């Protein structure tokens, strides 16, 4: 059927409106970013100038004489390194920052940088023209997301956004998911410290997450005359006795970090979620959206969703969209089959009409399939309720900025190769 001239005009005006809205949003976003960077620069200048005026320049007491020898052996062709390793399973940033999501992550990065800069001034290490500052946060991501959610401290999407903001604050701020098992995090942190503290250009290595398993490592560094480079962040009040005999300094940033060890409340949680295989720890969630759980659905038979009489089902509040219901309906339960059973945080007890099911299916396609997103063939094929291609295709605006959720190979096919939806 021919399209009327009025319809063509309406389509053109709608397109122009969308473009102008996107342009205005991007403009305001860039203005806010410029203002944020100017504020950060002013704050850093003020902190540096204020501290430089009052810092005590007297020689530090209690440091090993070997520090002067190490400093003289630095390779002057390279910038001195100031490194920071955090065991996130034992030490995590304050929930008040995590609740703020992306902005909280950037604020934590800024405050942490200022605190380290102040500590370096106090240690009389401000004479270097340039310092290369690196931060690496190691943790079991899945366990941390679930623990924060179960303790009511932050929603998974808030923690995901916080980590994104923290890592994007600087190209030298790194996030490392060590995978399941506390020993995985410990092993990576120990290897990082033992390797990089030996570099002659490493001035200081700040470490957060002190606990008994690291005692042997500390003793080894002490014997090698390297503990003078180490600075312990947030030492627990019940400081392990062996650490009292080392020459490592200790500092506290109580407003930045939790006062309780993360491992204490993480250990109160039940065992690992079924279906999480140690051979594939990199599968991630969609920032709080329920998604396929890899090996669980691929290798374990899943029962069909329970069917109940409509008199026992809840009725959707028509004044709210489906994703705003409390809790929202489970996509997998209504569109495929959900393997989480009673552990699922989404509802299986809504009565959905055919029209509501159609809306639910259409919205689910806007979130990427986690199998394809992580480079794994989807075992559900056409039955998968999640998106296998980005709705915007190769012209995706967010893809050009590196922010599209559809990160898997082939999830942005060229125009003409995308599946066409035919409606009656």
What number is the average pLDDT over the span 333-350?
A: 83
Can you give the length of the chain in residues? 424
Q: Is pLDDT of 142 > 70?
A: yes
Q: Is pLDDT of 64 > 80?
A: no
Q: Is pLDDT of 274 > 70?
A: no
What number is the average pLDDT over the span 309-338?
A: 83
Q: How far apart are CA 360 and CA 314, in angstroms?
A: 16
Q: Is pLDDT of 144 > 50?
A: yes
Q: Is pLDDT of 288 > 70?
A: no
In the structure, what pLDDT confidence band is assigned to residue 51 with cuts at 50, 70 and 90? Answer: low
pLDDT at position 191 is: 94
403-423, pLDDT tens digit by residue? 788 888 888 887 554 544 433
Q: At what angle do helices 101-122 and 156-168 cross, to 10 degrees?
A: 50
The answer to whether residues 80 and 201 touch, using CB atoms and an 8 Å cutoff, is yes
pLDDT at position 67 is: 52
pLDDT at position 237 is: 61
What number is the average pLDDT over the span 152-159?
A: 88
Q: pTM for the whole thing?
A: 0.47
What number is the average pLDDT over the span 116-130?
A: 77
Residue predicted with more confidence, 48 or 348: 348
Counts of helices then strands in the chain (DSSP H, E): 14, 8
pLDDT at position 241 is: 46
Q: Is pLDDT of 298 > 80?
A: no
Coarse DSSP helix, strand, coil percentages of the chain, rounded to the nearest 5 percent: 45, 10, 45
Q: Give the CA distances from residue 354 to residues 313, 360, 363, in Å, rounded to whole numbers and listed in that order.
A: 15, 10, 14
pLDDT at position 177 is: 92
């Amino acid at each position: 059927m021919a399209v009327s001239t009025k319809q063509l005009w309406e389509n053109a005006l709608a397109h122009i409106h969308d473009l102008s809205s996107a342009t205005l949003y991007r403009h305001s976003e860039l203005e806010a970013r410029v203002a944020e960077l100017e504020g950060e620069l002013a704050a850093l200048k003020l902190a540096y100038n204020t501290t430089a005026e009052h810092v005590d320049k007297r020689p530090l007491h209690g440091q090993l004489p070997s520090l002067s020898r190490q400093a003289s052996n630095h390779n002057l062709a390279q910038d001195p390194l100031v490194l920071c390793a955090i065991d996130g399973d034992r030490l995590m940033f304050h929930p008040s920052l995590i609740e703020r999501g992306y902005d909280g992550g950037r604020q934590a990065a800024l405050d942490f940088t200022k605190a380290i800069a102040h500590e370096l001034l106090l240690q009389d290490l401000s004479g270097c023209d340039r310092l290369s500052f690196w931060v690496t946060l190691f943790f079991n991501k899945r366990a941390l997301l679930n623990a924060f959610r179960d303790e009511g401290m932050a929603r998974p999407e808030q923690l995901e956004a916080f980590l994104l903001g923290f890592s994007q604050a600087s190209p030298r701020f790194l996030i490392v998911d060590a995978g399941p098992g506390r020993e995985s995090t410990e092993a990576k942190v120990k290897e990082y410290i033992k390797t990089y503290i030996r570099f002659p250009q490493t001035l200081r290595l700040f470490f957060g997450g002190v606990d008994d398993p690291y005692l042997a490592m500390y003793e080894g560094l002490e014997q090698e005359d390297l503990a003078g480079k180490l600075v312990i962040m947030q030492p627990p009040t019940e400081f392990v006795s062996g650490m009292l005999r080392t020459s490592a300094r200790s500092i506290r940033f109580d407003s930045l970090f939790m006062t309780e060890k993360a491992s204490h409340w993480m250990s109160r949680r039940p065992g690992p979620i079924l279906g999480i295989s140690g051979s594939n720890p990199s599968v991630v969630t969609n920032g709080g959206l329920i998604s396929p759980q890899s090996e669980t659905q691929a290798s374990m038979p899943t029962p069909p969703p329970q069917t109940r009489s409509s008199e026992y089902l809840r009725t959707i509040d028509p004044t709210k969209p489906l994703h705003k219901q409390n809790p929202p309906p489970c996509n997998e339960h209504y569109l495929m089959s959900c393997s989480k059973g009673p552990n699922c945080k989404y509802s299986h007890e809504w009565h959905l009409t055919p029209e509501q099911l159609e809306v639910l299916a259409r919205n689910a396609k806007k979130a990427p399939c986690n199998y394809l997103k992580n480079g794994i063939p989807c075992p559900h094929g056409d039955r998968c309720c999640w998106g296998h291609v980005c709705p915007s295709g190769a012209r995706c605006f967010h893809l050009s900025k590196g922010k599209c959720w559809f990160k898997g190979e082939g999830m942005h096919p060229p125009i003409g190769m995308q599946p066409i939806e035919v409606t009656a």
